[in-house]
Structure 1
Amino acid sequence: MKQRRHSLLAALVVTLLGLSAIPATALTAAPGGAPAAERERSPRVSTAEETVAAMQPGWNVGNTLDAVPDETSWGNPRITRELLAAVHDQGFNSIRLPVTWTDHQGGAPDYPIDPAWLDRVEEVVDMALDEGLYVLLNTHHDSWQWILDMPTQHDAVLARYTATWTQIAERFRDAPPELLLESVNEPQFRGSTGEAQEFELLDELNTTFHSIVRGTGGNNADRVLVLPTLHTNSEQARLDPLVDTIAALDDPNLAATVHYYGFWPFSTNIAGYTRFNEEVQADITANFDRVYDTFVSQGIPVIVGEYGLLGFDRNVGTIQHGEMLKFFEYFGSYARQRQLTTMWWDNGQHLDRAALSWRDPSLYRQIRTSWTTDSATASSDQIFVRAGQAPADATLTLNPNGNNLAAVLNGSAELVRGQDYTVNGDQLTVTAATLARLTEGQGHGVNATLSLRFDGGAPWDVNVITHATPELVNASGTTSGLTIPTAFNGDQLATMEAVYADGGNAGPHDWTSYKEFGVAFSPDYGAGRITLPQAFFDAVDDNSTVRLTFHFWSGETVTYTLTRSGTTVTGTAG
């Protein structure tokens, strides 16, 4: 066992230094993981605060047992012991296991859960526990399938909720205390008279859940139970009613949960919020401060049961890579300061569950490092050099976060300080001669990646990119969608503006000229095109002319003119 753990430590060091992308399979001892008796978990803890702290960090097995109608319906493979062993070996101490029960449940009055489904959920819980992971089990998409109708179907919903949790609680009454139960995911209601009623209904659900679980005895008598705010939102008006519920229950083994997907305009890339700026950072600070002041400082532990960026629902490229890394660095750092346990939402986008490797190793590296220490970042992770022109010096502003720059590497070769680059305070300048050498004879795109190594934290990688002005081609289509052939010439699209020729913002979200990335427009670099979908044209006036301005990360802007007549759309470059 010691030999295996030493190899894991060595692999972790390599990962943090950024020397290679280590697949999770390389960290798994053998198919199926180690036997249960050999798996490592922190010494057993007793209080809710200690339990929640021991769960940090956590990971969601999203879009799997919560998928509708079945485990593989949303494209992910069945959960295996190998997956759970790999998750543990990647540094996670807990998993959140979202489960949707609706399609595996009979009707009134008993609402029986299919025994085979209960068996499968129990199998996964047992495997995770055997692999040394804490488990947070819930009712998931049931929240928007039938629980939300509680305002208009109160008795029926409450009866089904009671029957559902009674069966779950009885099945898991003797599970070890490393299993936690969560009353409902993202509670929401329709047809209510307003939030006052919704707070009352959520209080009733949470209180009923508490009574059911505690009443089944066994380890459920003092198991840590997790209660959400309305919408699992962290606005103060949503936090306060949960405080009242927890106070009334007077149970020391309770925890609160919220979700966090960032400052909305940045998280979806709309209204020109392409960068992790002070406003985006302040949103993290304000949310976590409220949660800390309301719960943690009063002895009530908090689990951030899901976190990520909303744009990931469409494409992880919705947010520019370096700006994304800055978000997760600060998120992890401030969550650590505020003593919050965080559970990364992964619906299959991040950990490839077939290959057991990270799709973006640099994102995993940044997140993993943030669990224990702060990492340096920079104003950008891109240096653009125009094709056919002699480059100029390029300066980046460093945000050291308490670290000192130790070296700059291009692959395995270390650049010479004072010759290849200079550092003046927080200004790192890569010399023109160095950029000329790195891009000489290279085509459009990334010609080199410079790894900034610091004496602590994760490296910061900077892509050196040769580019030319992107070229958009005339196109025609319909309001069901327009495809614009595009030569990106090494550049990347940051955002798009849309305004009518005679004034006013065009397209969806007409309160801003900057449209939502992935909703109103989508680039495809491999195919060489930008697509404007039907959702964009649904919000464009008939018989109108729209001026588009495409903003690229190099600083280039390219204009394009759209003309709509009925369902016919033509696009003209320039």
Structure 2
Amino acid sequence: MKLKKFAALFIAAAMSVGTLSACGDKDSKTESRNDTKSAAETSAESKAGEDDTAEGTPVSETHQNDTMTPTSAVDLVAQMTNGWNLGNTMDASGNGLDAETAWLPNKVQTNQYMMDRLVEAGFNVLRVPVSWDGHITGDDYQIDPAWMDRVQEIVNYGIDDGMFVILNTHHEEWYKPKPSEKEQDIEELKAVWSQIADRFKGYDEHLIFEGLNEPRLRGEGAEWTGTSEARDIVNEYEKAFVETVRASGGNNADRCLMITGYAASSAYNNLSAIELPEESDKLIISVHAYLPYSFALDTKGTDKYDANDTAIPDLFENLNELFISKGVPVIVGEFGSVNKDNIDQRVACLDDYLAAAAKYDIPCVWWDNYARIGNGENFGLLNRADLDWYFPEMMDVFKKYSDSDPASAS
């Protein structure tokens, strides 16, 4: 085991003192590491020495003078391999910095070493879902500076490892595409994105903004299917997002932005209703697709993967028809399959999924919510405490597609 990993274990343990919870999801691998403490301390001290030059520099001042290489969205996406979501973390509900670990079983805070493990495994896309709602105050929708700083620290972990980083607005209960709420929603959307865009305007092309996450009629009968009226309003939200970012200055005039349709749905009627908010080569379509649904997402569904199911190939054929063939790239911002103690089936599904995506040069970003066992949606791949992979067989599939020419990986 590398010394860098020992250091991460030591730091993670220090962060977790006094906050560990007894949870059925806690991995059995977690155990005493007194025999590695000396090596961990040595490596941690070495790492601290490396960071001495940056000590005292406010995080808000980092990456503010990066040189942007204007890149079309098609060319940018072509550089991407596999992606990973930092799920159930900065998107958790709550106020203050404790929200970061509110949904995590062992309260391990995000750190640089997690990103290192991702890169080693062939991931070069990090999606950082962030819920801002609990960290906004006042009629002018001001974001808590401490929360903004912590988000920026995590973005930097990915940027400093050479990754492409996607930053979004995630579990936002305040946007709901209805005529009665549209005006206030757009007002808040502009206020929030103007602050995010201003903070990150110095970052280069490796940072991508995603305006909305699954915008939908929450709690209503058409929540996931949508209505024509709601789809049109989502398009208005996206237009406000793009205009706000473009007006913020710095490198944001040339930044690639991700556009989502109603609920980020993979349904054809929702995808086909997407209207691009500007004429440029800097837009990327975002879609979420846990397929086949009964196998991949439904916790009460089947644990058997049917290779003859057409859901996966149909999705990518639709994405090609609607966007790829027209020069508009696509990123599957969320996908995955729930752990049902069916590793062979999940490996087969993952291989077919990534093979279908590779035909059209579409990166796919796995939803990792750090949950592995239990009755919920268990998508966890990375053991963030031990920096091990729960399912090495699945990691072999990811590595296959990161090491290969995407067009010929299958």
- TM band (smaller chain): 0.7 to 0.9
Does residue 296 of structure 1 match 2:324? yes
**CA 1:93–1:52 in structure 2 vs 1: closer, same or farther (change >3 Å)?**
same
What is the CA-CA distance between 1:371 and the residue it aligns to? 4.0
Q: 1:64 aligns with which of 83, 89, 114?
A: 89
| Structure 2 match to 1:122 | 152
Aligned partner letter, 1:258:
V
> 1:33–1:82: 8 Å Cα contact kept in structure 2?
no
**What is the SS of the residue equivalent to 1:65?**
coil
What is the CA-CA distance between 1:49 and the residue it aligns to? 0.9
| Structure 2 match to 1:333 | 355
Q: Deviations over 1:32-76 (max 9, x none)?
A: 69979xxxxxx9672111111212211111111111111010015
Q: Deviations over 1:291-324 (max 9, x none)?
A: 0121111111100001102xx2xxx126x22111
**CA 1:272–1:279 in structure 2 vs 1: closer, same or farther (change >3 Å)?**
farther
Does residue 346 of structure 1 match 2:368? yes
| Distance in 1 separating the partners of 2:298 and 2:250 | 48
What is the CA-CA distance between 1:184 and the residue it aligns to? 0.7
Higher relative contact order, structure no. (Cα contacts within 8 Å, ≥ 6 residues apart): 2
Q: Which runs of no fewer than 5 residues in structure 1 stay unpaired?
A: 5-29, 37-42, 375-401, 403-455, 458-574
Matches within 5 A, 1:447-486: none
Q: Deviations over 1:205-260 (max 9, x none)?
A: 10000000000111000100000121111222111121xx21x5112100101011
| Distance in 2 separating the partners of 1:233 and 1:72 | 28
**CA 1:271–1:73 in structure 2 vs 1: closer, same or farther (change >3 Å)?**
closer
> 1:45–1:51: 8 Å Cα contact kept in structure 2?
no
**CA 1:261–1:272 in structure 2 vs 1: closer, same or farther (change >3 Å)?**
closer
**CA 1:298–1:372 in structure 2 vs 1: closer, same or farther (change >3 Å)?**
farther
What is the CA-CA distance between 1:272 and the residue it aligns to? 7.4
Q: 2:124 aligns with which of 87, 90, 93?
A: 93
Q: Which runs of no fewer than 5 residues in structure 2 stay unpaired?
A: 5-42, 52-67, 371-379
| Structure 2 match to 1:356 | 387
**What is the SS of the residue equivalent to 1:157?**
helix
**CA 1:138–1:269 in structure 2 vs 1: closer, same or farther (change >3 Å)?**
closer
| Structure 2 match to 1:223 | 255
Does residue 283 of structure 1 match 2:319? no
| Structure 2 match to 1:366 | 397
**What is the SS of the residue equivalent to 1:189?**
coil
| Distance in 1 separating the partners of 2:177 and 2:267 | 23
Q: 2:114 aligns with which of 83, 87, 98?
A: 83
Aligned partner letter, 1:95:
L
**CA 1:128–1:263 in structure 2 vs 1: closer, same or farther (change >3 Å)?**
same
**What is the SS of the residue equivalent to 1:345?**
strand
Does residue 138 of structure 1 match 2:168? yes
Q: Deviations over 1:9-33 (max 9, x none)?
A: xxxxxxxxxxxxxxxxxxxxx6669
| Structure 1 match to 2:16 | none
**What is the SS of the residue equivalent to 1:146?**
coil
| Structure 2 match to 1:183 | 211
What is the CA-CA distance between 1:373 and the residue it aligns to? 5.6
Q: 1:251 aligns with which of 255, 280, 290?
A: 280
> 2:303–2:340: 8 Å Cα contact kept in structure 1?
no
What TM-score, normalized to structure 1?
A: 0.54
**CA 1:271–1:130 in structure 2 vs 1: closer, same or farther (change >3 Å)?**
closer
| Distance in 2 separating the partners of 1:285 and 1:366 | 18
**CA 1:155–1:57 in structure 2 vs 1: closer, same or farther (change >3 Å)?**
same
User: How many residues end up aligned between the 2 structures?
Assistant: 333
> 1:288–1:338: 8 Å Cα contact kept in structure 2?
yes
Structure index of larger Rg:
1
| Distance in 2 separating the partners of 1:278 and 1:85 | 33
**CA 1:33–1:347 in structure 2 vs 1: closer, same or farther (change >3 Å)?**
farther
What is the CA-CA distance between 1:265 and the residue it aligns to? 2.1
| Distance in 2 separating the partners of 1:66 and 1:265 | 25
Tell me which protein shows more helix as a share of its residues. Answer: 2
| Distance in 1 separating the partners of 2:391 and 2:294 | 23
What TM-score, normalized to structure 2?
A: 0.75
Percent identity, aligned pairs only, is: 32
**CA 1:207–1:45 in structure 2 vs 1: closer, same or farther (change >3 Å)?**
closer
| Distance in 2 separating the partners of 1:93 and 1:293 | 26
> 2:129–2:169: 8 Å Cα contact kept in structure 1?
yes
| Structure 1 match to 2:31 | none
Tell me which protein shows more strand as a share of its residues. Answer: 1
What is the CA-CA distance between 1:344 and the residue it aligns to? 1.1
**CA 1:269–1:279 in structure 2 vs 1: closer, same or farther (change >3 Å)?**
farther
Aligned partner letter, 1:113:
I
> 1:151–1:189: 8 Å Cα contact kept in structure 2?
no
| Distance in 1 separating the partners of 2:299 and 2:103 | 27
**CA 1:34–1:275 in structure 2 vs 1: closer, same or farther (change >3 Å)?**
farther
| Distance in 1 separating the partners of 2:73 and 2:254 | 10
| Structure 1 match to 2:373 | none
**What is the SS of the residue equivalent to 2:198?**
helix
Q: 2:133 aligns with which of 62, 85, 102?
A: 102
**CA 1:64–1:274 in structure 2 vs 1: closer, same or farther (change >3 Å)?**
closer
**CA 1:111–1:105 in structure 2 vs 1: closer, same or farther (change >3 Å)?**
same
**CA 1:258–1:335 in structure 2 vs 1: closer, same or farther (change >3 Å)?**
same
**CA 1:90–1:33 in structure 2 vs 1: closer, same or farther (change >3 Å)?**
farther
**CA 1:156–1:264 in structure 2 vs 1: closer, same or farther (change >3 Å)?**
same
**What is the SS of the residue equivalent to 1:237?**
helix
Q: 2:295 aligns with which of 266, 273, 284?
A: 266
> 2:69–2:204: 8 Å Cα contact kept in structure 1?
no
Q: 2:273 aligns with which of 215, 235, 241?
A: 241
> 1:33–1:81: 8 Å Cα contact kept in structure 2?
no
Q: 1:317 aligns with which of 340, 344, 348?
A: 340
> 1:275–1:323: 8 Å Cα contact kept in structure 2?
yes
Q: Deviations over 1:422-441 (max 9, x none)?
A: xxxxxxxxxxxxxxxxxxxx
**CA 1:81–1:234 in structure 2 vs 1: closer, same or farther (change >3 Å)?**
same
| Structure 1 match to 2:79 | 54
Aligned partner letter, 2:73:
A
| Structure 2 match to 1:202 | 234
**CA 1:34–1:79 in structure 2 vs 1: closer, same or farther (change >3 Å)?**
farther
Aligned partner letter, 2:82:
P
> 1:333–1:371: 8 Å Cα contact kept in structure 2?
no
